[in-house]
């Protein structure tokens, strides 16, 4: 059997690699709805598909509210953020950064979860997230209301 060497130009090699290894064919831009924030950019809702971009997605607001829960402290009556997942995400991390002692409450198709003090005073919820709608609240224990940034990422 005769072996032959095939030389490809850089552009031909690029086309061949693109056909064999497409760049995130499912990569999707995040869909935002920040209308509940009344023009402030706070309290955005998100639709996330696998391999979403940008990663991480960030939402902002003020923690707490008028309702008290035994496990997550003070929260608002409506959720701070609604995240819709049209498909399962094998891994998603929700984390909160804030200057105050805040909590993270998430309800969704697989249950209700409250996280507090995973990293110092900051909460994190990560793992597999089945498709569906998730309501997210960022609470606090003292009712003071702290500015926060919620980050959603597929990166561990």
Tens digits of per-residue pLDDT, 102-142?
999 999 999 999 999 988 889 999 999 999 999 999 999 99
Whether 30 and 89 have beta carbons less than 8 Å apart is answered as no
Q: Can you tell me the mean pLDDT for 144-156? A: 96
Q: Can you tell me the mean pLDDT for 78-107? A: 97
Whether 79 and 137 have beta carbons less than 8 Å apart is answered as yes
At residue 16, what are phi and psi to the nearest 5 degrees?
Answer: -65, -45
d(CA 127, CA 154): 9
130 falls within a domain: yes
61 falls within a domain: yes
pLDDT of 53 > 70? The answer is: yes
| pLDDT of amino acid 18 | 35
144 falls within a domain: yes
Mean pLDDT of all residues in the chain?
85
Q: What is the count of structural domains for the chain?
A: 1
pLDDT of 9 > 70? The answer is: no
33 falls within a domain: yes
The position carrying tokens 């064919």 is: 25
CA neighbor of 140 nearest in space, from 45, 53, 75, 58 = 75
9 falls within a domain: no
5 falls within a domain: no
1 falls within a domain: no
CA neighbor of 153 nearest in space, from 31, 52, 85, 84 = 52
Structural domain of 88: 26-153
What is the pTM (predicted TM-score) of this model? 0.81
Whether 45 and 150 have beta carbons less than 8 Å apart is answered as no
| pLDDT of amino acid 36 | 85
**83 or 156: which leads in pLDDT:** 83
Instruction: Report the percent of the chain where pLDDT is more than 90.
Output: 71
54 falls within a domain: yes
> Residue 132 belongs to a domain with what CATH number?
2.60.120.380
| pLDDT of amino acid 1 | 42
Strand duo 67-69 + 73-75: pairing: antiparallel
Counting Cβ atoms within 10 Å, is residue 124 exposed (0-12), middle (13-18) or buried (19+)?
middle
The H or E element that residue 19 is part of is helix 10-20
Residues 58-67 pLDDT 10s: 999 999 999 9
| pLDDT of amino acid 49 | 96
pLDDT of 80 > 80? The answer is: yes
pLDDT of 54 > 90? The answer is: yes
């Amino acid at each position: 059997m005769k072996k032959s060497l095939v030389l490809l130009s850089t552009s031909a090699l690029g086309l061949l690699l693109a056909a064999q290894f497409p760049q995130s064919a499912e990569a999707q831009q995040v869909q935002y709805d920040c209308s509940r924030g009344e023009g402030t950019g706070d309290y955005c809702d998100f639709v996330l598909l696998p391999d979403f971009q940008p990663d991480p997605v960030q939402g902002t607001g003020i923690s707490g509210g008028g309702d008290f829960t035994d496990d997550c402290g003070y929260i608002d009556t409506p959720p701070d953020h609604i995240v819709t997942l049209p498909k399962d995400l094998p891994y998603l991390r929700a984390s909160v950064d804030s200057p105050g002692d805040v909590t993270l409450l998430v309800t969704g198709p697989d249950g209700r979860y409250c996280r507090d003090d995973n990293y110092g005073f900051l909460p994190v919820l990560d793992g597999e997230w089945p498709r569906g709608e998730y309501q997210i609240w960022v609470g606090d224990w003292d009712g003071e209301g702290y500015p926060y940034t919620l980050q959603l990422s597929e990166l561990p």
